[in-house]
Amino acid sequence: MFTLILFLIVGSTLVYISKFNFMPVSVNLGMYVFKDIPLFYVIVSSLLIGLVLSYILYLVHVVSTSLKLRGKNKEIKKDKDEVLELTKRVHQLELENEKLKHSKSVEPEDQNAL
C-alpha cells in the first residue's frame, strides 16, 4: 500500500513538473548535441541518473562492509575456538590438580627445607 501511495505522489509531482517545463532546450554532451528536447525530460533524466549513481555507491559501500564483517567473523570464530581449547586445558589441569591433592603422598619430608 505504501508503494502505491509513493508511486501516486511521484507521478503527480512528475505531471506537475511536466506541465510547466515543456519548452524545448538543447543539451550538449561532449561532442553530441541534442536539440529540441523538452526540459521536463532533462529534469527527469538527471534525477534518474542521480538515483542510479547513488544506488551504485550504496551497493559498493554495502559490499565493502560485508567483506569487513566476514573477516571479523572469521577472526571471532578463530578466537572462540582458542578459548574453547584453553577451557578444555584448564579443566584437565584442574582434574589433575584434584587427583594430586587427594592422592597419598609417600614423599619423605625434609625438615631443613624452606
Residue 111 confidence (pLDDT) above 80: no
> Of 9-23, 66-80, 95-109, which gets the smallest average pLDDT?
95-109
DSSP symbol at 30: T
Look at residue 105 in the predicted model and tell me its pLDDT: 60
Confidence (pTM):
0.61
Q: Note the residue count of the chain.
A: 114
Residue-wise pLDDT for 50-72, tens only, equals 999 999 999 999 999 999 999 89
Q: What is the pLDDT of residues 8-30, one digit of tens each?
A: 998 898 888 888 888 999 999 88
DSSP annotation string for 74-112: HHHHHHHHHHHHHHHHHHHHHHHHHHHHHSPP-PPPPTT
Question: To the nearest whole number, what is the mean pLDDT of the chain?
Answer: 89
Instruction: Supply the pLDDT for residue 49.
Output: 96
> What phi and psi, each to the nearest 5 degrees, are found at residue 35?
-105, 150
